[in-house]
Amino acid sequence: MKALLYGLLLLVCGSGLAIASMETYRFENAQQQARYRVIIETVRCTVCQGQTIADSNAGLAQDLRQLVYEMIIDGHSDREIYRFMVERYGEMVLYRPPLKPSTIPLWIGPFVILGVALVALVMIIRRRERLLTPKLSSDELQRASQLLEQDKK
């Protein structure tokens, strides 16, 4: 019974800490809040790299969310905010890198891989069909025809 009470107490205290770490920002208008959401959902967390700064709980992600908030409140444009992030962390910080010669493999690569996989699949299917199709001589074909005709009668 004591273990259950301790577990419940730990759960209540732990959930309070999680709520205390949530950030709340006050924006001057809904447009600023919408810009903030879009930006933090399109900037990659450089610590986690699989998450946006909106999804990450890493300390750096929290700092970057705060920075984005401050830049929006200070009147910086989206372009200025993204440029700052790229200058500081490189283009890998963007979930949608711009199309330019150095990023063409990122944009075209998945389609190339898909094309190669489809060609390989077609080749495998055709080869399998050739291997499974029996090669009969003309005598064997004639004999098979005779057997089929006898079966029909």
Q: Strand pairing partners for 52?
A: 44
Q: Quickly count helices (H) and strands (E) in the chain.
A: 6, 0
Distance CA 145, CA 125 (A): 28
**One pLDDT digit (tens) per residue for the chain, 153 residues:** 665 555 555 555 554 444 444 578 888 899 999 999 999 999 998 888 788 999 888 899 999 999 999 999 999 999 999 999 999 988 888 888 777 887 788 778 889 999 999 999 999 998 888 877 777 788 888 888 888 888 776
Has this prediction a pTM greater than 0.75? Answer: no
Dihedral over Cα of 130, 132, 137, 143: its sign:
negative
**Structure-token pair, residue 17:** 């800490």
**Structure-token pair, residue 61:** 């992600």
Say how far residue 65 (Cα) sits from the centre of its chain: 21
Single out the residue of 55, 30, 34 nearest to residue 44, CA to CA.
55
Domains of the chain: 24-98 (1.10.8.640), 99-153 (no CATH)
